[in-house]
Amino acid sequence: MALPSSPPLLADDDDSDLPSAPSLLSLPTDSYHRKRQHSDYDSLSSDPLFSDTTEDDEVQDAERPRRKKLVRGRWWEVGKRSAHDFRRRMAKKESLRNADSGVFMGSDASEGSVDSILSSQQRLQELAVEDDVVEENAPVQAVLDAEAYAARIIQMCLDSGKEAIDLSSLALNHLSEATLRPLHQLIKSSFTTFTHPPSEDEFSPLTPSITLILSTNQLTSLPAELFNLSNLTCLSLRSNHLTHLPAAIARLTRLTEFNIAGNGIRYLPWELLDLIHCKGDHRQITARPNPLLQPTDLSGPSPLPRPNYTPAGSEDLSRFADTRETVEKMRVRYREEGCLNLRGELELRLKLGRMLRIQYLQDASRAGTELKLCREELIYLASSSIRYFGVDGTPLRRTHGFPPDTDNWPATMDPTAHAPTSPSTPNRTPSLFELALRSLQGTHNLTDFLHASPTTTATVYGFSPPLATAIHAAATNTAANHGNENCSTCSMHFIVARAEWVEYWFHGFPSQQELSGESVLPFLRRYKMGVSREEPPHVHKRHASGERITLSSPTTELLPA
Amino acid sequence: MAASSDYVTLISSDEFSFIVQRSSACISPAVKRMLDPSNGFLEAKTNTVRFDNINGMVLEKVCEYFYYSEKNENARDVTDLDFPTEMCLELLMAADYLDI
């Protein structure tokens, strides 16, 4: 009776349920799983029951060497992609086979097997569809990768307290606000070695002097956050695809080195003049090579007979001679000789500017005031003709003469020649249009109900195209972005500019006698108020830029009345 | 009515009429053109301008702006005209129409 060899029956034991649980679960999946394996096996077998053309193609393709050329992308994705292709081809084959006969597949299984075939097929197709989606997203992924990489570099610099952030040659074509934002938290590492106690001179402020190198990328616009990084001292944007520079660049007041060479920039913002005009501290600003505007053709020799003329006896200029009179005399003489073209006029102005500068310096040294000077001179040369705009930003009609060159902004003797005779608002109060737009900007989140482009907004809401453009400008200028532009004469904010013109300034060394294209910088100025012929905008120039004008260039005096 | 009185009447779409100084109203180039006798519009004869697309509330603000603008013509640091936020868009469109 007693059977010691057999284990005791544990039918009443609860533990007996445990081993059975997996088998119960595995039962429904079993056939499915087997089917999967089976189908996999079929597809892998080199010799199918039914002649399968795709399989043959595949073999042939594999034998051909030029098949390799079709593989694009990064090497670590190639393997993945070939797996995707394989799975897709399998799915295709599966459907083909299913269309041919169900008998072959259903030979060894019960009724459930048909379902399992179908489900496995569906699963395969799903997989194939998933793979397709992934492949479509691949380029987007690549863009994110470049930026994610940039973000990682920034994070690494942040962790190690490194002040030089090198994001060059990453093929970045977009830089988002969020990527740059962590740089606000950058703290300079105090001292790196812990082998000795910190000496006296190792105690320095932890405020960093950030060096941000974004050169050799494909940036077309700059994130607004960049201009909030007030600790930026060196910024390189060399070799990008920028076409204009936002005025917000003037907010980076600690900048000592700034490079925008090798972009598509045609003119600089007026605000950059504040940076270029260094008060003692040297700033290195590289603006060339860029397709910058030229006031006039500056190639070839100077038309003036004595280009090397330096104001001889400049020491006593301040004592008795009136510089302006001298230059006026020279001007008259040159005009009689017939060699005073626009370029000659520019050279005369440069001469006058230099003489006035010397005079000013002499006066200052006599008075005993201490002056901070930079090595380069900054002298106003000329303006282009002023372009006027209506309240909603549409260009106003020219009253007389030909319309000025819309693209090249050539320098002219009479910038106000094309002023409209009947100005729409001849006073300094902002237009109602501007006021309403500003209020709209302040109270509503405009981006929520605007469409992608001004033209679609115009058609959807029935706005006129200039109105839609103005609202779009208001939406993009919000505080989160660069903010509204400042009027370059009264430093008040505006959305719709009413006038704009380009000013040409000489920026070079005093030793440079002749005016050349390399030493002239164009600055775009935008003006906010309604303008009239009686009161051209540059009358306010002096109070706007204050000390700079009186020091290095007598702008208002040089302009024609 | 006289051909060129000192005051003109602006009538809104909901029949509110505002009598304002001619010089102020002519800040708007559009109104100025309408009231110019040489252009021969009916408005110039009757000294009355009807705006079918501007309602009374907005037109009142527009008239306020006319006076505000004339008063602050040469003043510096003028405080901005204040208006209710719900009126912004309508004012914007009216300003676009009147070119002010």
Mean pLDDT in residue range B64-69: 88
- Residue A484 with chain B: CB contacts under 8 Å: none
Put simply, the answer to whether B100 touches A424 (Cβ < 8 Å) is: yes
- Written as one letter, the residue type at A327 is V
- Residue B18 φ/ψ, nearest 5 degrees: -120, 125
Beta strand A284-286 with B7-11 is unpaired
Put simply, the answer to whether B29 touches A424 (Cβ < 8 Å) is: yes
Per the DSSP assignment, residues forming a β-bridge with B20 are: B8
Which region holds residue A452: left if phi is over 0, alpha if psi is between -120 and 50, else beta? alpha
Q: How far apart are CA B35 and CA A396, in angstroms?
A: 22
The tokens for B62 are 């527009």
Put simply, the answer to whether B75 touches A428 (Cβ < 8 Å) is: yes
Tell which wins on pLDDT, B69 or A490.
Answer: B69
Q: Which of A522, A469, A478, A458 lies closest to A496, judged by CA?
A: A469
CA distance A549 to chain B (A): 22
Query: Strands across the sheet with B17-21, in order?
Result: B17-21, B7-11, B48-50
Beta strand A210-213 with A232-236 is parallel
Q: Which CATH superfamily is domain A142-190+205-286 in?
A: Ribonuclease Inhibitor (3.80.10.10)
Q: Which residue shows structure tokens 């799915």?
A: A91
Contacts of A418 (CB under 8 A, 6+ apart): A385, A386, A387, A388, A398, A399, A400, A401, A403, A404
- Residue B26 with chain A: CB contacts under 8 Å: none
Secondary structure (DSSP) of A284-310? EEE--SS----SS---SS-SSS-TT--
DSSP state of A488: T
Start-to-end CA distance of chain B, whole Å, equals: 27
- Residue B83 with chain A: CB contacts under 8 Å: 435-436, 439
Of A431, A439, A463, the CB nearest to B85: A439
Angle at CA of residue A21, ends A20 and A27, nearest 5°: 90
Q: How far apart are CA A166 and CA A236, in angstroms?
A: 10
How many CB pairs below 8 A link A and B? Answer: 78
Put simply, the answer to whether A425 touches B69 (Cβ < 8 Å) is: yes
Q: What is the 3-state secondary structure (H, E, C) of A391-429?
A: CCCCECCCCCCCCCCCCCCCEECCHHHHCCCCCCCCCCC
Q: Which of A527, A470, A482 lies closest to A503, judged by CA?
A: A527
Of A427, A432, A440, the CB nearest to B65: A432
- Residue A119 φ/ψ, nearest 5 degrees: -65, -40
DSSP state of A389: B
Is A512 in contact with A399 (CB distance < 8 Å)? no
Integer-rounded Cα Rg, in Å, for chain B is 14
The tokens for A363 are 């006066």
Is B59 in contact with B12 (CB distance < 8 Å)? yes
The ipTM estimated for the assembled molecules is 0.88
Put simply, the answer to whether A433 touches B75 (Cβ < 8 Å) is: no
Of B27, B81, B98, the CB nearest to A435: B81
Give the chain B residue nearest A530 (alpha carbons). Answer: B100
Give the chain B residue nearest A423 (alpha carbons). Answer: B29
- Residue B27 φ/ψ, nearest 5 degrees: -60, -35
Is A245 in contact with A268 (CB distance < 8 Å)? yes
Put simply, the answer to whether B96 touches A392 (Cβ < 8 Å) is: yes
Beta strands in A173-319, from DSSP E residues, in sequence order = 210-213, 232-236, 257-259, 268-269, 284-286
pLDDT at A181: 86
Taking 70 as the threshold, does the pLDDT of residue B3 lie above it?
A: no
- Residue B68 with chain A: CB contacts under 8 Å: 429
The tokens for A345 are 């006029």
**Which one of A389, A392, A431, A432 would you mutate to disrupt binding with B, by most B Cβ within 10 Å of its Cβ?**
A432
**Which one of B96, B97, B98 would you mutate to disrupt binding with A, by most A Cβ within 10 Å of its Cβ?**
B96
Length of chain B: 100
Q: Helix, strand, or coil here: B93?
A: helix
Burial (Cβ within 10 Å: 0-12, 13-18, ≥19) of residue A533? middle
Taking 70 as the threshold, does the pLDDT of residue B86 lie above it?
A: yes
Q: How far apart are CA A310 and CA A162, in angstroms?
A: 49
Q: How far apart are CA A252 and CA A231, in angstroms?
A: 8
A391 CB neighbour count, 10 Å cutoff: 26
Q: Helix, strand, or coil here: B11?
A: strand
Put simply, the answer to whether B29 touches A422 (Cβ < 8 Å) is: yes
Put simply, the answer to whether B72 touches A429 (Cβ < 8 Å) is: yes
pLDDT at A171: 85
Q: Which of A380, A485, A398 lies closest to A438, judged by CA?
A: A485
CA distance B27 to chain A (A): 7
Q: How far apart are CA A503 and CA A386, in angstroms?
A: 10
- Residue B73 with chain A: CB contacts under 8 Å: 426-429
As a CATH number, domain B7-98 is 3.30.710.10
Helix, strand, coil percentages in chain A from 3-state DSSP, rounded to 5? 45, 10, 45
Is A342 in contact with A384 (CB distance < 8 Å)? no
Q: At what angle do helices A17-44 and A75-100 cross, to 10 degrees?
A: 90
pLDDT at A115: 55
pLDDT digits (tens, 9 = 90+) for A272-296: 887 887 666 678 888 888 888 888 8
Put simply, the answer to whether B68 touches A426 (Cβ < 8 Å) is: no
CA distance A436 to chain B (A): 5
Give the chain A residue nearest B75 (alpha carbons). Answer: A428
Put simply, the answer to whether A467 touches B96 (Cβ < 8 Å) is: yes
Domain boundaries, chain A: 142-190+205-286, 314-375, 390-558
The low-confidence residues of chain A, meaning pLDDT below 50, are 1-2, 10-18, 20-45, 48, 51-59, 61-62, 66, 101-102, 106-112, 132-138, 307-308, 310-320, 423-426, 531-561
pLDDT at A381: 84
Q: What is the 3-state secondary structure (H, E, C) of A309-378?
A: CCCCCHHHCCCCCCHHHHHHHHHHHHHHHCCCCHHHHHHHHHHHHHHHHHHHHHHHHHHCCCCCCCCCEE
